[in-house]
Every structure is written in C-alpha cells, then in structure tokens.
Amino acid sequence: MPTRLLCLSEPKPSITKLPPLGMEARDISSDFRRYYVRTLGRDKHCRSTHYVYNALSLTLRDRLMERWQATYYAYDAAKSRFTYYLSMEFLIGRSLGNAMLNLGVQNAAEKAMYDLGIHLEELVEHENDAGLGNGGLGRLAACFLDSCATLGLPVMGYGMHYEYGMFRQHIENGHQVEEPDHWLRNGHPWEIVRPEYTQRIQYGGRTEFYKDDAGVTHARWVDTHDVLAVPCDIPVPGFENGTVNTLRLWKAAATDEFDLEEFNAGDYTRSVADKNSAENISMVLYPNDASENGKELRLKQQYFLASASLKDVIRHWVSHHGNDFSQFAAQNCFQLNDTHPTIAIPELMRLLMDEHGKGWTEAWKITSSTMAYTNHTLLPEALERWPVRLFQQLLPRLLDIIYEINARFLGEVSKHWPGDTGRLKAVSIIEEGPAPQVRMAYLAIVGSFSVNGVAELHSQLLKEGLFHDFYSIWPQKFNNKTNGVTPRRWVAWCNPGMTELISSEIGHGWITDLSQLSQLKPLAENAEFRRRWHEVKQENKARLSKLVSLECNVIFDPSFMFDVQVKRIHEYKRQLLNILHVIHLYDRIKRGDTANWTPRCVLFGGKAAPGYAMAKRTIKLINNVAKVVNEDPATQDFLRVAFLPNYRVSAMEVIAPGTDLSEQISTAGKEASGTGNMKFMMNGAITIGTLDGANIEIREEVGPDNFILFGLTAPQVEAMRSHYNPNEIIAKDENLGRVLSLLESGFFNQFEPQIFDCIVDSIRNPHDPWMTAADFPAYVDAQRTASLLYHDRDRWLRMSILNSAASGRFSTDRTMQDYNRDIWHLTPVKPDRE
Ligand code: 26Q
C-alpha cells in the first residue's frame, strides 16, 4: 500500500498551479544562477560555455513550459479542430535565439547575461543546429510551425527524432567528405521526453481473418515484430502571443520481449542485436538521394512516423469520444509533407477497421476526408515508388489495404473512361512489371481530399503533366499554396540592423503582418533612408565576410558585390551554369577586358547527396576554379570565389542578410518553388533568375525592373528538347566556346587528369536535361546587367529596398492562412494569461 502524501479530507493544493514567471532581466538572472549553481552544480571556477548555455536554455524553457500548458488548456476548452503536419523532416536549426525572440525577452536576456559578464552571442553560437532535414522541404515544415503558433492555429507537427541528422560536410582537396552529425552529443535542453505516450509499432507477420460474434469477418495482423515509439516533444513558441504549440518527434526503442524471448532462449547476443536493429529505425536521416530509393529502413521509418502519429491522435480521440468516430473527420486533418508519410492513408484505414471495428465504407469516408497531400517535385524520377515485395514482407496487412484501395479506385476510373485499359494501367497505384511497385504519389492523390503544389507554376504543371489524369477525375482536389518563410527567423532574428531600421520608420507591426513592408516603397526615394539601408547592408556583408574568411580562408571585400548561390547541389539547380559564368569572368580578366568592372565575390554552398556523383563533381569543380582564381594575382581587384563548407540553417542566418545578388537559376519547370529565393528577397537582395518556381511570383510582386530575368521559359525548354544542339550554341557563342576550351584544356585540373570530362560531356550532350548551354548566353547578358546596376549605387539601393518592401506575400503567415482558408478550416485560439 503506497503511503498517501496528502490527507483526502484536507483541501488539496493543485500540484500544477504556479505563479507566472517574471520576464525582466532580474528574473532571468536569478533563475539562470539557480540553474547554473543548484541544478547543474557549477561554481565560480567553472567558466564553460556549455553549462552557461544550458542554464539560460532551462531558464527560457520554463517560460515556454507555462505557456505550453496554457495553450493546450485553451485548445481543449475550445474543443479545437486540429491539423497534424506529418513530415519526415523538420529542419529547425537552433532554438535558443528563436525562444528569446518569440518570448520577447531578447533585451532582458542580453542584459542579464551582460551583467554577469557573459556574451549572449557566444551562447547562441554554442548551440548545434538540429539538422533534422535535407533542405527546402524540411525547412518549410519548420517555418510552417512558427507561423501556425504565431497565428494561434491548433497545428501540431509530427516527425522523427533522428539520432544523426544531415551529415556534416568537410571539403578535402576540393572534394566533399561526409561525416556523421551527432547533434545530440551535448544534450538538447529543448525537448522533453514523454514515455507515458509511447506507442507500439508492428512490422512483419501476416494477416489473419476471423469472425466476430455476429458472424462478421475481420482482419488482424499477427506474429509481428514490434518496436516502441517514444515521443520527444519540442515547444514551438508563437511570436509574443502566449501560444506554444508542439512538435512531437518519435524515437525508436526496443520492446521488453525483444530481450526476454531470445534471452530466455539463451541467445543473449542475438537479443542485443535485435534491440539494436529496433533502435536503428530512428538512427539516421536519409539524405535526399535517388540511389537510396527502395531502402527497407527508409520504409520502416516512414511507417514508424505514420503509425505512431495516427495512434497518438486516436488515443486522444478515444479518451474523449470512446469508439464514436462520426466526428473524427470534422475534428482532425493530416497534412502530408510530400509522399514520405503517405503510408498514413492505409494505416488509418487499418486502425479504423481492424482496431476499431469500422466497415470499409465508413473508414474510407473518414480517411479520404481527413488526409491532404502536398507535392514538392516536378521530376518524375523523384516520385516515390516501393517494391511490392518489400511491402509484402514488412507491412503485409497494409499491402492488402492498398490493393483494395486500388481495386475500388480502378472501378471508378473505368466508369470515367469506359473501356480504356491503357488509362487503367497508367493511373494504377500498382505499377505492373517484373518487379511491381507501389506508386506513392498516386496513393496520396486517391486517398486525399486536397492535393497542392508549392508555387503557381508548379501547381499548374502538376495539373497539365504529372497528375493530369487524376486532375481530369477530381479537378476540385487540386490547388496551389505558394511557399513562404517565417519573417521572425529570416528577418527579425537574423538581420537586427535591418529590423531596427524598418521599425524606426513603420513600427514593428510588419513582424506579424509582413504586407506592411509595402510602406517602405516611398522610402526608396529618400536619400537618407537609402544611406542608412546601405550602412546596414555593409555591416551585414562584413559579418558574412568574417564567416567566409574563417571557414574558407578567402577574403571577401565588403565593397565588392556579394553574389551568392546556396542550396542543395543538384544538376537542375545549375550551380554549373554559375561556375561557368565565373570562368567567363576570369577569362575576361585574363584578356584585360575589365573596363567599368564591378568587382564580385561569388559564394557557393550546399551539400551533395553522398551517392550523387555529378553533384559531387560539381563541388570539386567549384573548388578548383576558386583556387585558380583566388591564387592568381591578376584577379585581386576584380573577383573572389569561395565554397562555404557545411551549409546549414545557422549559416544562412548570416548569409542572407549579407547578400547583394541571389542566384535562382534552375532550368525552368524543374524547381517546384524555392524558398531561399524568398529569404534573400526579404533581406534586400536582388534576384537573378529564370521563370521557375516562386521566382515568377517574386518578379510579379517586385516588378520586372527590380528582378534580373534570363533564360528559356518552361514551355520553351520543353519545345527545344527535340532539337537541342548544345555544340552549335558553343560554336556560335564565343564566350561559351572559350569557357569550354579552358575546361577541356585541363586548366582547372592540371594534376587531376579527366576529372571534369563528365561535366564537359554533360554540357555537350544533346540530351542534357538541364540545358545549361541553352541559357548560358542569356545568363552572361543578365550578369552584365547586374554588374551595371550595381555600379549605380543609388539605383541598386532602390531596387534592394523595393525587394524587401515587396516580400510580404512570401511570409509563411500568408501561406498558413491560405492552407487554413482552403484546406484546414481551423479556428485560431488565444490562450488565457492569468
Ligand atoms: C527520398 C527517398 C529516399 C530518401 C529521401 C528522399 C527525399 C528526401 C527529401 C526526397 C526529397 C526530399 C526533399 C525535397 C525537397 O526539399 N524539395 C524542395 O521542397 C521545397 C519546399 O516546398 C521547394 O521549395 C523546392 O523547390 C523543392 O526542391
């Protein structure tokens, strides 16, 4: 009999009710010292940044915690409908700065630390990035959560708690070298583990059918190997509004019987190995890599996320509504971030039917009015497909359900196109052949009530191309939601100089209503404002220059134009086109063609998927060109080139504010949206770009005079394919001819014969899907325009101001309002502050 702590007849004080914490410097200072000395056990002899960082983080986390609880009480009291954002990636980066900014305690924390002789910036820099994503798609998920919290929307993120995030990139002799990133090495004070909400996830086994007492047949999944999913919750604060939402990341753990069964059978080693294999599920983030397609562990991860999240939502549902799911679809919505969590569709069917006794019709009605799918790619080769054989082994019960979904869907298709067997084959969720595959995008479309692209052009091209047949059947499902970025991290946090300047003119309402930046427009004509704008940009360039000098050992002079391309390395993004232009500039310098020259610093950064040979070779080319250019004294006053290793969220926080020219030069029709383009624009960079992805909308907002356009349009690219002749273009364009001669002569690889042959071959290949040669002449002209414009400082400053002023549409606050209006239909909630 446990001892009672409290006598029942006495009135009980609440164990969860506490007075609110103070937000002044003195409150932060006293909590900080308590944590440092009493909780972490440090004294005056210890001066390690690590403990100081942790003490301050815990101090701020307490302030998040009380708001977190209040937010959940408010959602509960309002009986809020919820959206769950399911994503294999949340690229959240660092948390300390974001917590301070959104809690509105930046100044108080700075003062508290300063008074103790501590530099806040050093603590901020101490934090490892949480690199739980590859790039655009993962960062988008993180920006969405920030905006939902800021708008008071009941949205919860569900993702994976990877032990190892995106690999760390080193450059050795110009080559990319990957190293595992153990980001949790020093602990992570921003998450709290909630073992009480652990879920059990099944794999393997087989389906068994049985009859219930009423004689109705049901299925159950038996003889499975189970793994536990343990939630680690990360608070997601809104901007100065008292809301704190949740990002719940699942971590794999072995079940007890894993040890027991085999241990009892005397196989201790095996039992430890199996425990390892269970815990491997959340060990590592897969880099976005075609060569990784079809890997069993990736499918295990996807199912792990989908099943754990759905079971968590259903656990909560059943605790409030029992087995009555009639209002489930009215109260819950799942947004699928690409096809990666699409297995959630058959999994929800399984849970409703096998575990809650619903019939197919009811389960399908609920599922297909609860799921919504976002597509992020136009490249057909990037669409996810899984071998049926793998499904059969790993998720046999889900394969049964997928077959049934497909059979019923094909029935509908036959009604739509009677007798058209070719069409049936084309749209079938199962791709037939010697090794049949499950087409995940088709499953996602069939099982969702909404299908959206991430920029207007992209959404249009989905309807015309990739998903045309589905669009014919269900035109009402298809919609566009143009991406955005959060102005909190991407301006207010990363660009304090610009933030202060803007707020001094128009107040600070723009931070939560970015359209207010349009009030800056008239200020572009104000010489004093331009002077101050220039001053801020120069300070930011000095900061970026320091980073480049530290990490690349290259000196970037802030009086030069800073020309930047940072993003994942991919052929369609055409880092190659950019480096060809750099070679052209170098060639001009060597020819003495430098009259009216605009000096440039060209910065590259980005990771190549470990198995993507062409992307890795492009990195090598950039580094070799940089070495030749930087070591040649002739270039001293004209050109610098650097490749920044290990590009990541926290690097972009320095890069975007210090950039003059933003390179967005993908082959038209290939970049779904782009979001780096938006971060640069907000921070006053001018875009040089093609009519691709969100570039089109950026140009629409800022006007053609303030955007440097070049290149073929998406329809022109497609029209040219059949007769594309790069060698003729090279023969006709003297600049390109000279660049290729330099490359072919081995000028940039004198002791590394042939290493760039594959790159030259790709440019000269009439089947080059990225048509680099086709856009080169226009790109060089556009770069000349950029140089001329930069030469006219006032003209450039006007353009820079106008770009920030026109960036309002690219706030994720707008994006989230669009999702909410058209797809989610959530009611914003304001938590009570006592
Ligand atoms: C696939 C199979 C196996 C392992 C990993 C993957 C994988 C992982 C990540 C496939 C794709 C991704 C990420 C894609 C991505 O980031 N797409 C980008 O999404 C942005 C946000 O919508 C857009 O702005 C970019 O245009 C788009 O490229």
Q: Is 339 in the pocket of ligand 1 (CB under 6 A)?
A: no
Q: Is 288 in the pocket of ligand 1 (CB under 6 A)?
A: yes
Establish whether 300 is a catalytic residue. Answer: no
Q: Is 693 in the pocket of ligand 1 (CB under 6 A)?
A: yes
Percent of the chain with pLDDT over 70: 97
Establish whether 620 is a catalytic residue. Answer: no
pTM for the structure as a whole: 0.97
- List beta partners, residue 237: 244
| pLDDT at residue number 834 | 43
Dist CA 188 CA 252 (whole Å) = 17
Write the pLDDT tens digit of every residue in 228-271: 999 999 999 999 999 999 999 999 999 987 656 666 677 777 77
Q: Is 483 in the pocket of ligand 1 (CB under 6 A)?
A: yes
Q: How far from chain centre, in Å, is Cα 251?
A: 20
Q: Is 137 in the pocket of ligand 1 (CB under 6 A)?
A: yes
Asked if residue 570 has pLDDT above 60, the reply is yes
Q: How far from chain centre, in Å, is Cα 130?
A: 12
| pLDDT at residue number 274 | 79
Q: Is 130 in the pocket of ligand 1 (CB under 6 A)?
A: no
Closest residue by CA, ligand 1 atom 25:
674
- Give me 292's structure tokens: 């990784």
Asked if residue 832 has pLDDT above 90, the reply is no
Write the pLDDT tens digit of every residue in 211-231: 999 999 999 999 999 999 999
Residue 9's pLDDT band, with cuts at 50, 70 and 90, is low
- Give me 148's structure tokens: 């939902």
Asked if residue 196 has pLDDT above 80, the reply is yes
Establish whether 567 is a catalytic residue. Answer: yes
Establish whether 573 is a catalytic residue. Answer: yes
Dist CA 402 CA 388 (whole Å) = 10
Establish whether 12 is a catalytic residue. Answer: no
Instruction: Tell which residue, 369, 349, 345, has the closest CA to residue 357.
Output: 349
Burial of 617 (0-12, 13-18, 19+ CB in 10 A): buried
Closest residue by CA, ligand 1 atom 8:
288
Mean pLDDT of the chain: 96
Q: Report the pLDDT averaged over residues 668-695.
A: 98
- Give me 370's structure tokens: 């609860």
Asked if residue 7 has pLDDT above 60, the reply is no
Question: Ligand 1 pocket: which of 293, 377, 440, 690 to mutate (most atoms <8 Å of CB)?
Answer: 377
Establish whether 679 is a catalytic residue. Answer: yes
Q: Is 286 in the pocket of ligand 1 (CB under 6 A)?
A: yes
Backbone torsion region of residue 123, taken as left when φ is above 0, otherwise alpha when ψ lies between -120 and 50, otherwise beta = alpha
| pLDDT at residue number 1 | 45
Backbone torsion region of residue 784, taken as left when φ is above 0, otherwise alpha when ψ lies between -120 and 50, otherwise beta = alpha
8 Å CB contact between 296 and 337: no
Question: Ligand 1 pocket: which of 91, 137, 384, 695 to mutate (most atoms <8 Å of CB)?
Answer: 137
Q: Is 671 in the pocket of ligand 1 (CB under 6 A)?
A: yes
Q: Is 672 in the pocket of ligand 1 (CB under 6 A)?
A: yes
Q: Single out the catalytic residue among 439, 458, 573, 699.
A: 573
| pLDDT at residue number 264 | 67
Q: How far from chain centre, in Å, is Cα 226?
A: 30
| pLDDT at residue number 13 | 73
Residue 669's pLDDT band, with cuts at 50, 70 and 90, is very high
Using the mean position of ligand 1's atoms as its centre, give its distance from the Cα of residue 135 in Å: 7
Closest residue by CA, ligand 1 atom 17:
137
- Give me 728's structure tokens: 């003729």
